[in-house]
Amino acid sequence: MKRLNIGILGFGTVATGVVDLIKENHAEITRRTGYEFAIEKIFVRSMDRDNPYGLSLTTDVNDVLMNPNIDVVVELMGGIEPSLSYIQTALDHNKHVITANKALIATHGNELFKKAAEKGLMLMFEASVAGGIPVIKTLRESLIGNKIESLAGIINGTGNYILTEMKEKGRSFEDALKDAQALGYAEADPTFDVEGIDAAHKLTILASIAFGIPLQFDKVFIEGISSLETEDIQYANQLGYTIKHLGIAKYLPEGIEIRVHPTLIPKSELISNVNGVMNAVLVKANGVGPVLSYGAGAGGKPTASSVLSDLADISRMLDADKAQYVPYLAFQNQALSNAPILPQAEIHTAYYLRIKAVDQPGVLSDITHILAQHDISIELMIQTKSVDDNLANIIMTTHETKEHSILESLRAIEALANIRGKAKLLRIESFRS
């Protein structure tokens, strides 16, 4: 029986899941791959920990990175450093690499892929996006006969849980966040999750694979959910929408949109009904049409499932010619596109606006006049009156327009004497064909 000798960096939740799945599904893995997956060594920060399977642990990372018996190094530590240095060292020592580290791939993937290619090695990262959902393999291999037109994803379970609680139970953002932290869905410092950084890392990877462009995290527009108010969730619901924190990427003739922000989606669309901590990615391609992938976006075993998928792929390609390796970003390295990433001001979509105004004649006329001056067409409008302060909430949705037009009009509206505070702006998307 052939063996695939594995070294693991880190022994947290995902690494434990990898070990568990290898042990539980040993016979199935061997039947499918023809290999025995053998864990040779695990790097840990401290030996004072549980080790129920009696595995070989070490606090010296070089026992993994420079071990001549190890074929594949699996990085499951997270963060940029020392993970980046460890992966570079593993490649220098001719180890294939698997990582679940979306931040590392999004920000340093280009250089790591270059190094891996020069060494003739595989660098796999299925587990870096959407946990157990095989979305990278779908984009990179299953849809190879298609041109990807767009993708949209709920790719952060923490944010999706918070928005689900705000909609279904009327909770405030702060209250829902505290609950998510108590349940272990959110970190003590939730910034990466609720401000969209985690989703932007993942979207960077998906967009690069979908469109054949270099990784460009610094060009992603990012807006979080921490400023969302319960009343906007409720108004969206009245208008027939659900608010989701989406990562959206579109390939257009003038360039590529890559953006993360709260988004109103019609309640009739499948992706608007993905709730709790679950993830989903909707891909639209010119051959197959829309494809929706749904599942657990985090957790030990779901993420470990993707790691084992990468291990299986490596085992099958170990004896193959290096020219037959699947390209890291789905396209041949020399064929990556330099299509421009569009600035957010140039995106074209519909909008939800909530404007607080003094409830008196002429105010609505002033607002609509400014919108008309910027060629913005109103789709529908509702107005509610506050009993406490004699102010009105004016809620509008617009037809599609350029973002710079809506921003310019809002600056003019906010300067009106009878307008109070900043207007609320949210984007609207529909993913029907």
Q: At 113, which CATH number?
A: 3.40.50.720
Verify that 308 and 350 share a domain, yes or no.
no
Verify that 125 and 6 share a domain, yes or no.
yes
Query: Does 341 fall in a domain?
Result: no
Query: Which pLDDT band, with edges at 50, 70 and 90, does 61 fall under?
Result: very high
Q: How many CA atoms lie within 13 A of 294 on its CB side?
A: 10
Report how far residue 105's alpha carbon sits from residue 97's, in angstroms, rounded to the nearest whole number: 12
Check whether 1 has a pLDDT greater than 90: no
The H helix count followed by the E strand count for the chain is: 14, 17
**SS3 state of residue 276:** coil
Are 75 and 15 in contact, with CB atoms under 8 Å apart? no
Residue among 202, 244, 301, 424 flagged as catalytic: 202
**Would you state the structure tokens that stand for residue 388, as one six-digit string?**
């406490």
The DSSP secondary-structure symbol of 287 reads T
Q: 385 catalytic, yes or no?
A: no
Query: Does 179 fall in a domain?
Result: yes
Which of 272, 307, 322 is the last residue before a domain boundary?
A: 322
**Would you state the structure tokens that stand for residue 432, as one six-digit string?**
């029907």
Query: Does 334 fall in a domain?
Result: no
pLDDT, the chain, mean: 96
Query: Does 71 fall in a domain?
Result: yes
Query: Does 103 fall in a domain?
Result: yes
Verify that 170 and 273 share a domain, yes or no.
yes
Check whether 388 has a pLDDT greater than 70: no
Verify that 186 and 215 share a domain, yes or no.
yes
What is the phi/psi pair of residue 53, to 5°? -90, 0
Mean pLDDT, residues 379-392: 84
Count of residues for the chain? 433
Query: Which pLDDT band, with edges at 50, 70 and 90, does 432 fall under?
Result: confident
Quick one: pLDDT at residue 316?
95
pLDDT tens digits, one per residue of 251-285: 999 999 999 999 999 999 999 999 999 999 999 99
* Helix (H) or strand (E) segment spanning residue 41: strand 35-43
Query: Which pLDDT band, with edges at 50, 70 and 90, does 350 fall under?
Result: very high
Check whether 417 has a pLDDT greater than 60: yes
Q: Is 129 left (phi over 0), alpha (psi -120 to 50) or beta?
A: beta
**Would you state the structure tokens that stand for residue 403, as one six-digit string?**
């973002």
Query: Does 384 fall in a domain?
Result: yes
Tell me what percent of the residues of the chain surpass a pLDDT of 90.
Answer: 94
Check whether 69 has a pLDDT greater than 60: yes
Quick one: pLDDT at residue 338?
95
Query: Which pLDDT band, with edges at 50, 70 and 90, does 121 fall under?
Result: very high
Tell me if the bond preceding 82 is cis, omega within 30° of 0: yes
Verify that 95 and 160 share a domain, yes or no.
no
Binding positions are 102, 187
CATH number at residue 143: 3.30.360.10
Binding positions for NADPH are 102
Residue 183: domain span: 133-294
Tell me how many domains the chain contains.
3
Are 395 and 353 in contact, with CB atoms under 8 Å apart? yes
- Among 45-54, 225-234, 280-289, the range scoring the smallest mean pLDDT is 45-54
CA distances from 87 to 8, 10, 80, 91, 410 (A): 11, 13, 10, 6, 48
Mean pLDDT, residues 387-395: 83
Query: Does 370 fall in a domain?
Result: yes
Are 8 and 15 in contact, with CB atoms under 8 Å apart? yes
Verify that 162 and 262 share a domain, yes or no.
yes
Report how far residue 199's alpha carbon sits from residue 157's, in angstroms, rounded to the nearest whole number: 10
Q: Is 392 left (phi over 0), alpha (psi -120 to 50) or beta?
A: beta
**Which residues, other chains included, contact 378 with Cβ-Cβ below 8 Å and sequence gap of 6+?**
368, 371, 396, 397, 398, 399
Verify that 289 and 302 share a domain, yes or no.
no
Are 367 and 357 in contact, with CB atoms under 8 Å apart? yes
Verify that 167 and 252 share a domain, yes or no.
yes
Query: 241-252 and 221-222: which strand pairing?
Result: unpaired
* Helix (H) or strand (E) segment spanning residue 382: strand 378-385
CATH number at residue 362: 3.30.70.260
Quote the crossing angle between the two packed helices 157-169 and 173-182, to the nearest 10°.
130
Binding positions for L-homoserine are 187
In sequence order, which ranges of 36-146 are alpha helices (DSSP H)? Answer: 62-65, 83-92, 102-119, 135-137
Nearest 10 degrees: Cα torsion 72, 73, 75, 81: -140
pTM beyond 0.85: yes
Verify that 150 and 210 share a domain, yes or no.
yes
Check whether 433 has a pLDDT greater than 80: no
Query: Which pLDDT band, with edges at 50, 70 and 90, does 387 fall under?
Result: low
Verify that 262 and 169 share a domain, yes or no.
yes
The closest of 303, 326, 305 to 102, measured between CA atoms, is 303
Are 215 and 102 in contact, with CB atoms under 8 Å apart? no
Verify that 119 and 77 share a domain, yes or no.
yes
Verify that 245 and 290 share a domain, yes or no.
yes
Quick one: pLDDT at residue 272?
96
Query: Does 338 fall in a domain?
Result: no
Check whether 389 has a pLDDT greater than 80: no
